Amino acid sequence: MAKSYVSLTSTFKNLVDKTNTTVNQIGDLATLNTTADSDLVGALNELSDSIGSGGLNTTAQNLVAAVNEHETDIGNMTFTGLSATDISAAIREAIAELGDVTTLTTSASTAVTAINEIDSDVGVLSSLTTARENLVAAINALDSSIGGSLSQLLTSDQTSLIAAINEVETSIGQIDSNLAVNDIGNLVDYVGTSQSTVIGAINETYNRIPNVYDSDGTLLNG
């Protein structure tokens, strides 16, 4: 709109009209939403303070475009799997579901590195020699193969299979030692050539026994 001036040749009516036009263009100061509402300069200064000084760091260089740019950067406020509807609440909800990483019992201190540490400790599931390819199924398969519980072991030590096997091994050793001394005799006194083991000596003796047949020609000791 073209500027309107009051000149020395303007009539009083012209002055009144121009003043009223200016007032209408400015509007009612009482309707200002700023705290300062008594003059335009005060209201403008209040707005300037609210906006802040300095240049925008966004690519956009006006307020509306800058806000829209941030809105695009933030993205959709629909958080899949979360009930939160704003970023701050979504972060808090995600942290609550993740848990306190300071309570991790792994040497790693972040969720990703802790999971990787556990994965490394577990090993490659495809390397399992059981018919099953997940830990629970593989353990169940081994448990089924072992059969029963440790409390059903007849050994004195029922704490583990290894302990029970070791106990049996010790008992076998004692039996073997007792037999060697009291019942078997000294292998060096064996007249055959297989003097290193009892089984070898027995097999050699057996092979030296001739075949015995009955009157019908049936082999009796075959």
Q: Are residues 24 and 71 in the same domain?
A: no
The answer to whether 84 touches 96, Cβ cutoff 8 Å, is no
Identify whether residues 81 and 107 lie together within a single domain: yes
Asked if residue 69 and residue 22 are part of one domain, the reply reads no
Q: What residues make up the domain containing 75? A: 58-118
Contact 166, 173 (CB under 8 A): no
Q: Which of 59-73, 169-183, 190-204 has the lowest mean pLDDT?
A: 169-183
User: What share of the chain in percent tops pLDDT 90?
Assistant: 5
Mean pLDDT of 114-125: 88
Mean of pLDDT values over 51-61: 83
Residue 92 lies in a domain: yes
Residue in 97, 71, 73, 72 with CA at minimum distance from that of residue 84? 97
My answer on whether 21 and 68 are in the same domain is no
37 and 8 part of one domain: yes
Do 87 and 99 lie in one domain? The reply is: yes
- pLDDT at residue 27 in the model: 84
Domain-embedded: residue 189: no
Q: What pLDDT was estimated at residue 113?
A: 92
Assigned domain for 171 exists: no
Closest CA to 129 of 118, 119, 117, 141: 141
Residues 85 and 130 both lie in one domain: no
Q: Are 46 and 62 within one domain?
A: no
At residue 116 the predicted structure's pLDDT band, cuts being 50, 70 and 90, is very high
pTM of this structure = 0.39
The verdict on residue 45 lying in a domain is yes
Indicate whether 165 belongs to any domain: no
| Residue-wise pLDDT tens digits, 87-110 | 899 999 998 888 888 888 999 888
| Span 165-185, average pLDDT | 67
Residue 110 lies in a domain: yes
User: How many domains in the chain?
Assistant: 3
58: left (phi over 0), alpha (psi -120 to 50) or beta: beta
Domain for residue 5, yes or no?
A: yes
Residue 176 has pLDDT above 60, yes or no: no
Is residue 9 assigned to a domain?
yes
Percent of the chain with pLDDT over 70: 86
User: What pLDDT does 92 receive?
Assistant: 92
pLDDT of residue 159 exceeding 80, the answer is yes
2 in the Ramachandran plot: left (φ > 0), alpha (ψ -120 to 50) or beta? beta
The pLDDT of residue 58: 87
Mind listing the pLDDT tens digit for each residue in 66-91?
889 988 888 888 888 889 888 899 99
pLDDT of amino acid 178: 59
Same domain, 76 and 48: no
Do 50 and 66 lie in one domain? The reply is: no
- Residue 180 pLDDT: 53
